Amino acid sequence: MLAKYLIERALSRPERVWCLGVLLLVAQVAADEPETPAATTSPAVIVTPEAEEIHFSGLLFDGHNDLPWEIRDKANSSFDRLDISQEQLQLHTDIPRLRRGGVKAQFWSVYVPASTAETGDALLQTLQQINIVKAMVARYPETFEFADRAADVERIVKSGKIASMMGVEGGYSIEEDLSNLERLYGEGCRYMTLTHSKSLSWADSATDEPRAGGLTEFGRAVIQEMNRLGMLVDLSHVSPETMKQALAVTKAPVIYSHSSARAICDHPRNVPDDVLPLVAENGGVVMINFFSAFVVPTEQLKTNKLARGTIYDVVDHIEHVVKVAGIDHVGIGSDFDGVPRLPEHLESVATYPRITQELLRRGHSREAIHKLLGGNVLRVLKAAEQVSDELQAVAR
Ligand SMILES: [Zn+2]
């Protein structure tokens, strides 16, 4: 978590290296935080039996979890060193807390730093991250099983295991070669974020100067190939111009695996209001990120850059996307184990039922809650598979 975040900050804002020290402190505090820190300022969320029933009967499918990078960074890529069958409070994620949180399906991020685009080992490191996820599934077979397709997700969830898919974070992992996309698909990757914190030759990042003017011809070819393969196009991290151009090209619905609403928190990583209707039109889904810096309302961040925010802010983001794009176009993409600060009452993967509780309190129906917990992203996955099947049938 820490290394990833510091690398991202160092690369995206080299002029502000001074803040790394502050972040280091904050991140260390966050890492040592117990699940429910004493110092909360907002009212606790008490999960009622009704909310619990709704939560655990739904299919919670989270869009983005960075545990694999944490295992590399903190445990030398070894589950012997960090055995997640036990609670590991220096992480946001372990098996006991995944179970308490009611996680049924997860996209595990096989993130590698944007600097690998310069060092030339982006694909190699991505394959190493994939091996970490494979080692996890092999080591804990009673808990995890890989899902190839949406139907596998449903089958695995019914069997009581956590359906696992992988997501590539940063298009530099394909090293400007379309055949690497097919290889990553073959390894089990089911989405790719077009960029990370830095712009690529073919797609622009939200947190860097534009290089591609949105998407280049190669960038459009990447999207077409993802459509053909049935790999979801993930628009988290890209610039608004890249979002719009990608939405114009893609034949399949897109996802934002971990982004929130810019109207509430004016951070370039969030989705602007003028893009949300395009996502609705496309049939896609915005999976809300929990990172405090993407969640805390703009005015509040102006007075306190390190404000944590609360679960209530996160539910405001969910409701904003529901209001602008509709209930069919919102999901959950926590970014657990990828961020140094989390809102009050959302400290780990054990806390998801509190979101269901707060949505229920605000009057959302059981059906609506089930859609946003995971029904929507499962629908998107099925639609992308259908597009892929059709494109491959035409090619035959
Ligand atoms: Zn990210």
204 alpha carbon – ligand 1 mean position (Å): 14
Of residues 335, 344, 347, 385, which has the active-site annotation? 335
Query: Tokens 């602008």 map to which residue?
Result: 324
169 alpha carbon – ligand 1 mean position (Å): 7
Amino acid present at 60: L
Are the C-beta atoms of residues 320 and 304 closer than 8 Å to each other?
Answer: no
Of residues 237, 267, 320, 364, which has the active-site annotation? 237
The structural domains of the chain, with segments of one domain joined by +, span: 2-34+48-395
Of residues 8, 94, 169, 234, which has the active-site annotation? 169
Of residues 55, 92, 196, 364, which has the active-site annotation? 196
Which CATH architecture describes the domain 2-34+48-395? Alpha-Beta Barrel (3.20)
Of residues 55, 92, 258, 320, which has the active-site annotation? 258
pTM, whole model, 2 decimals? 0.91
Are the C-beta atoms of residues 210 and 241 closer than 8 Å to each other?
Answer: yes
> Using CA atoms, how far apart are residues 348 and 139, in angstroms rounded to an integer?
22
Would you call 66 a catalytic residue per the annotation?
A: yes
> Using CA atoms, how far apart are residues 88 and 68, in angstroms rounded to an integer?
14
For residue 396, the model assigns a pLDDT of 75
> Using CA atoms, how far apart are residues 379 and 369, in angstroms rounded to an integer?
15
49 alpha carbon – ligand 1 mean position (Å): 34
CB atoms within 10 A of CB 248: 13
336 alpha carbon – ligand 1 mean position (Å): 10
Are the C-beta atoms of residues 146 and 130 closer than 8 Å to each other?
Answer: no
CB atoms within 10 A of CB 78: 13
Would you call 274 a catalytic residue per the annotation?
A: no
List per-residue pLDDT tens for the chain, 396 residues long.
455 554 444 333 333 333 444 444 444 444 444 444 547 889 999 999 999 999 999 999 999 999 999 999 999 999 999 999 999 999 999 999 999 999 999 999 999 999 999 999 999 999 999 999 999 999 999 999 999 999 999 999 999 999 999 999 999 999 999 999 999 999 999 999 999 999 999 999 999 999 999 999 999 999 999 999 999 999 999 999 999 999 999 999 999 999 999 999 999 999 999 999 999 999 999 999 999 999 999 999 999 999 999 999 999 999 999 999 999 999 999 999 999 999 999 999 999 999 999 999 999 999 999 999 999 999 999 999 999 999 999 887
Q: For residue 373, give the nearest of 335, 336, 332, 318 by alpha carbon.
A: 332
β-bridge mates for residue 233, sequence order: 192
Would you call 196 a catalytic residue per the annotation?
A: yes
> Using CA atoms, how far apart are residues 203 and 217, in angstroms rounded to an integer?
10
258 alpha carbon – ligand 1 mean position (Å): 7
Q: Which helix (H) or strand (E) holds 65?
A: strand 60-65
Of residues 8, 55, 62, 64, which has the active-site annotation? 64
Query: What backbone phi and psi angles, to 5 degrees, belong to 279?
Result: -65, -40
Of residues 8, 66, 316, 347, which has the active-site annotation? 66
> Using CA atoms, how far apart are residues 200 and 218, in angstroms rounded to an integer?
11
What angle is formed at CA 67 by the lines to CA 138 and CA 111, rounded to 5 degrees?
100
5 alpha carbon – ligand 1 mean position (Å): 9
